Amino acid sequence: MISGQVIVAGQAEGEILYSDVPLSFWGGVSSDTGEVIDRHHPLSGEILAGRVLAIPGSRGSCSGSGVVLELILNGNGPAAILLERPEAIITLGVIVAQEVFGVSIPVHCLGPDSFQNLAKTGPVRVSGTPPLSPDTVPAIALSEKDQALLDGRFGAAAQVAMRIVLRMAAIEGATELIDITQAHIDGCIYTGPGGLAFAERLRDLGGRVVVPTTLNAISVDQRRWRRQGIDPAFADAASRLADAYVDMGAQPSFTCAPYLLDTAPKRDEQVVWAESNAVVYANSVLGARTMKYPDYLDICIALTGRAPKAGCHLDAQRQPALRIILPALGAVDDSFYPLIGYLGGTLASDDIPIIGGLGHLAPDTDALKAFGAAFATTSGAPMFHIAGVTPEARDAGDFNALPLRQHRVSHADLLRAWGELNGADAGAIDLIALGNPHFSATEIAALVGLCRGRTKHADVTVIVTCGRWTLEQARNAGHVAALESFGVQFVTDTCWCMIIEPLIPPHTRTIMTNSGKYAHYGPGLSGRAMRFGSLAACVEAAVSGRDAGHLPDWIVRS
Q: Is 487 exposed, middle or buried (0-12, 13-18, 19+ CB in 10 A)?
A: middle
What pLDDT, on a 0 to 100 scale, did the predictor assign at position 397? Answer: 83
Average pLDDT over residues 37-59: 96
Q: Which of 43-57, 274-288, 394-408 has the lowest mean pLDDT?
A: 394-408
Average pLDDT over residues 312-322: 97
Task: Give 4's pLDDT tier (boundaries 50, 70, 90).
Answer: confident
Per-residue pLDDT tens digits for 489-506: 999 999 999 999 999 999
What pLDDT, on a 0 to 100 scale, did the predictor assign at position 30? Answer: 96
Looking at every residue in the chain, the average pLDDT score rounds to 95
What pLDDT, on a 0 to 100 scale, did the predictor assign at position 131? Answer: 57
Average pLDDT over residues 373-387: 97
For residue 137, pLDDT beyond 70:
no
What pLDDT, on a 0 to 100 scale, did the predictor assign at position 558? Answer: 74
What pLDDT, on a 0 to 100 scale, did the predictor assign at position 136? Answer: 43
For residue 484, pLDDT beyond 50:
yes
> Rounded distance, CA 146 to CA 489, Å?
48
For residue 318, pLDDT beyond 70:
yes
Residues 343 and 417: beta-carbon distance below 8 Å: yes
What pLDDT, on a 0 to 100 scale, did the predictor assign at position 48? Answer: 98
What pLDDT, on a 0 to 100 scale, did the predictor assign at position 130? Answer: 63
Q: Is 151 exposed, middle or buried (0-12, 13-18, 19+ CB in 10 A)?
A: exposed
Per-residue pLDDT tens digits for 411-438: 999 999 999 999 999 999 999 999 999 9
Per-residue pLDDT tens digits for 242-300: 999 999 999 999 999 999 999 999 999 999 999 999 999 999 999 999 999 999 999 99
Q: Cis bond leading into 502, ω under 30°? A: yes
Half-sphere exposure of 415 toward its Cβ, with a 13 Å CA cutoff?
Answer: 6
Task: Give 121's pLDDT tier (boundaries 50, 70, 90).
Answer: confident
Instruction: Decide: helix, strand or coil at residue 522.
Output: helix
Which one from 31, 58, 61, 558 is the annotated catalytic residue? 61
Please indicate whether residue 61 is annotated as part of the active site. yes
What pLDDT, on a 0 to 100 scale, did the predictor assign at position 440? Answer: 98
Average pLDDT over residues 160-173: 94
Per-residue pLDDT tens digits for 455-471: 999 999 999 999 999 99
